[in-house]
Amino acid sequence: MNITFIFFIGLFIALIGVIPPGLLNLTAAKISLKEGYNRGIMFSIGACITVLIQTYIAVIFARYLSNHPDIIEILQRVALVIFVLFTIYFLLIAKKEIKPSIERHTKSKHSRLFFGMFLSGLNVFPIPYQAYMSITLASFGWLQFDKTSIASYVVGSAMGTFVMLYMYIFFFDKIKNKPLTSQKNMNYIIGGITGIISIFTLINVIKEL
């Protein structure tokens, strides 16, 4: 498989994973707003360094699971239930706006880099998310678990995370001026995405029955 294609798959998968307005992306935006653009970028770079490590761990785990199809079948069924629940939550239940708190005193660029790495490390969701998506991509023949493909996918995932963090930094003024509307629309987008993933997962489960 072409490594450029794999790179952009990783980028797109990561973009989807970072779309939800959470602690990481909103913190990057607020640091940029309160302390300056450069510190927001340094925070984002730090977060992406951790994402590199997390995604690599996830893909290696996915490679192990690919050699154990019996475990994959169980995980696919569990993932189907989880994504269906996520879809129901974001489309029908989620209403609250996320308001992360960040330190008000000024920090150096290097401290923001390490803060980004630390805060991203606290978010363990990318590991199971990327592991599942890697297995799914492999099942469609879009991802092989050789060193070159893994490296391309991991770098693409880190870049996708950075792009989304940068978008939050750039458009934060518009997001904060319309919090309820933006949050509501974002929930619908996330619910739609998880709904699509649920359909693909269900198709895979049915094929294996």
User: Measuring CA to CA, which residue among 196, 194, 167, 35 is closest to residue 102?
Assistant: 35
User: Measuring CA to CA, which residue among 12, 26, 3 is closest to residue 163?
Assistant: 12
| ∠ CA 163-9-193, rounded to 5° | 80
User: Measuring CA to CA, which residue among 86, 71, 62 is closest to residue 198?
Assistant: 86
Least confident range from 84-88, 140-144, 159-163, 177-181: namely: 177-181
pLDDT (tens digit per residue) in 79-124: 677 777 767 776 777 555 444 444 444 455 668 888 889 888 877 7
- Confidence band for 16, pLDDT divided at 50, 70 and 90: confident
Looking up tokens 């390490």 gives 114
pLDDT reading at 25 higher than 70: yes
Looking up tokens 């678990």 gives 145
pLDDT (tens digit per residue) in 53-68: 999 998 998 888 777 6
pLDDT of residue 157: 93
**206/203 Cα distance (integer angstroms):** 5
Q: Of residues 35 and 194, which shows the higher confidence score?
A: 35
Tell me what the pLDDT averaged over the chain comes to.
77
Range 29-51 burial, b when 16+ CB lie within 10 A, else e: bbbbeebeeebbbbbbbbbbbbb
pLDDT (tens digit per residue) in 189-204: 656 766 776 787 677 6
**153/169 Cα distance (integer angstroms):** 24
Q: What's the average model confidence in pLDDT over 143-156?
A: 91
DSSP state of 142: S
**51/157 Cα distance (integer angstroms):** 8
User: What share of the chain has pLDDT > 90, as a percent?
Assistant: 19
pLDDT reading at 179 higher than 60: no
User: What share of the chain has pLDDT > 70, as a percent?
Assistant: 69
pTM score, whole prediction: 0.67
Q: Give the distance from CA 186 to its chain's centroid.
A: 14
